[in-house]
């Protein structure tokens, strides 16, 4: 038996209402940025090169490169800006 209209969830109320939180939106945006470029590491006798897309960055130690890759995975926009290739994002 129908007892009258029921309240619809917020994300179903209208097409303009977002169904995700601000944090989820930021995470999705970050993942979208990361999916644009392949990351490769070329280890040398001393240090390594990290290539993101068509840009390469030299590091004097593998540990420093891993740390920077971790920072990039957390915030690709910030790290790209710091290394001068934000125009490619």
Q: Could you say which residues of the chain have pLDDT below 70?
A: 1-18, 87-89
Q: What is the pLDDT of residue 17?
A: 52
Q: What is the pLDDT of residue 13?
A: 52
Q: What is the pLDDT of residue 8?
A: 55
Q: What is the distance between the alpha carbons of residues 66 and 41, in angstroms, rounded to a whole number?
A: 9
Q: What is the pLDDT of residue 7?
A: 58
SS3 36: coil
pTM: 0.65
């Amino acid at each position: 038996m129908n007892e009258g209209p029921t309240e619809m969830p917020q994300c179903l109320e209208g097409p303009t209402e977002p169904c995700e939180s601000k944090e989820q939106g930021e995470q999705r945006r970050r993942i979208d940025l990361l999916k644009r470029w392949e990351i490769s590491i070329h280890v040398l006798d001393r240090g390594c090169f990290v290539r993101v897309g068509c840009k390469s960055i030299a590091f004097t130690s593998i540990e420093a490169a891993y740390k920077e890759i971790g920072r990039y995975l957390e915030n690709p926009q910030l790290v790209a800006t710091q290394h001068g290739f934000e125009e490619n994002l």
